[in-house]
């Protein structure tokens, strides 16, 4: 039986490693992704990898922003939006929580929101800069909130919404973040993948009621009861569906590789799916070769010691 600490560690490392494995393949369509056996932190020789200047094992904006969120939660004992927004701004400006302080792969909507934050706009409004923007930039970083949170489901849902609006204000983004957090919370208790997902959907419907705007977008855009469909792109629902499909696999490694095989936003799809697989399977399920190659482990270890005390 995996204990809570093993699942929490699995979730955080699973997100970071999934991100790092996916980085070299980003923006490539599915037909240009290597075969299953060749998907590794170091792509096959001669592969036209994205960001060729990066050393293998480097996480991207997904991992850095997730660590900004975790750092803020641990420092404040709650979700404090101004503090979290300041850390996101520091990530962009000075490389906070980026490996080697090197920032790359900035999302268009995230950057527009950060510019608004710098201009003095409240973090409760900064993410509405592109009202119809439905990218996955809030979903990709939210897992630490679910792993850290000890409040009721209603409070977790509210905080998932709030962390989203800092950069991605559309209701669809908020709903996907909330559903993902509830799914992770159920996996943290040891539930199987599908049971955890089903209970998360049921809980979200109960919390949203029958006629709220949140319920409307849950049913009309996320469509949680329908078979998931994705082409791997950066639309937030596509990323959530990529995770649902990848998590049909029974091992952490397979989940990450399948998420990358969808192509396009490979690092985010692998981070989002890999984080949940790490929670489900525990830290011991992550391949040692990937853990060994991950860069920046020491600074993450400091956060984990502060959080879990080990």
Q: Which residues are annotated as a binding site for Mg(2+)?
A: 60-62, 265, 267-268
Residue that has been written with the tokens 């660590």 in this structure:
67
Burial of 215 (0-12, 13-18, 19+ CB in 10 A): middle
> Does an H or E element contain 127, and which?
none
* Residues making up the binding site: 60-62, 265, 267-268
Q: Is 208 left (phi over 0), alpha (psi -120 to 50) or beta?
A: alpha
Give the number of C-alpha atoms closer than 13 A to the C-alpha of residue 220, restricted to the C-beta side. 10
For 228, the 3-state DSSP assignment is coil
Distance CA 232, CA 29 (A): 8
Work out the angle at residue 98's Cα, subtended by the Cα atoms of residues 93 and 99, and round it to the nearest 5 degrees: 135
Distance CA 231, CA 54 (A): 26
Distance CA 23, CA 28 (A): 11
Distance CA 205, CA 198 (A): 11
Distance CA 126, CA 216 (A): 23
Neighbours of 35 (CB within 10 A): 9
Q: Which residues are CB-neighbours of 276 under 8 A, at least 6 positions away?
A: 11, 14, 143, 180, 183, 184, 187, 193, 243, 247, 255
């Amino acid at each position: 039986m995996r204990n809570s600490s093993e699942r929490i560690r699995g979730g955080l490392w699973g997100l970071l490693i999934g991100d790092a494995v996916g980085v070299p393949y980003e923006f490539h369509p599915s037909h240009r992704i290597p075969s299953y056996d060749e998907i590794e932190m170091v792509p096959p020789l001669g592969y036209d990898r994205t960001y060729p200047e990066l050393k293998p094992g480097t996480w991207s904006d997904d991992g850095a922003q997730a660590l900004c969120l975790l750092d803020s939660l641990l420092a404040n004992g709650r979700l404090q939006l101004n503090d979290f927004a300041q850390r996101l701004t520091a990530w962009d400006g000075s490389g906070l929580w980026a490996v080697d302080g090197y920032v790359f792969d900035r999302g268009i909507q995230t950057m527009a929101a950060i510019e608004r934050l710098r201009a003095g706009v409240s973090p409760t409004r900064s993410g509405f800069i592109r009202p119809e923007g439905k990218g996955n930039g809030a979903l990709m970083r939210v897992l630490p909130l679910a792993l850290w949170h000890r409040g009721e489901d209603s409070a977790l849902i509210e905080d998932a919404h709030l962390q989203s609006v800092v950069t991605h204000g559309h209701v669809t983004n908020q709903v996907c973040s909330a559903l993902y957090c509830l799914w992770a919370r159920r996996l943290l208790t040891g539930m199987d993948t599908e049971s955890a997902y089903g209970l998360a959907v049921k809980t979200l419907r109960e919390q949203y009621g029958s006629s709220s705007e949140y319920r409307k977008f849950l049913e009309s855009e996320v469509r949680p009861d329908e078979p998931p469909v994705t082409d791997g792109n950066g639309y937030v629902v596509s990323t959530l569906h990529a995770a649902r499909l990848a998590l049909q696999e029974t091992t952490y490694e397979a989940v990450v590789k399948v998420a990358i095989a969808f192509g396009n936003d490979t690092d985010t799809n692998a981070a989002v799916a890999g984080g949940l697989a790490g929670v489900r399977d525990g830290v011991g399920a992550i391949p040692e070769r990937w853990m060994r190659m991950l860069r920046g482990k020491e600074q993450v270890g400091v956060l984990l010691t502060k959080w879990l005390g080990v």
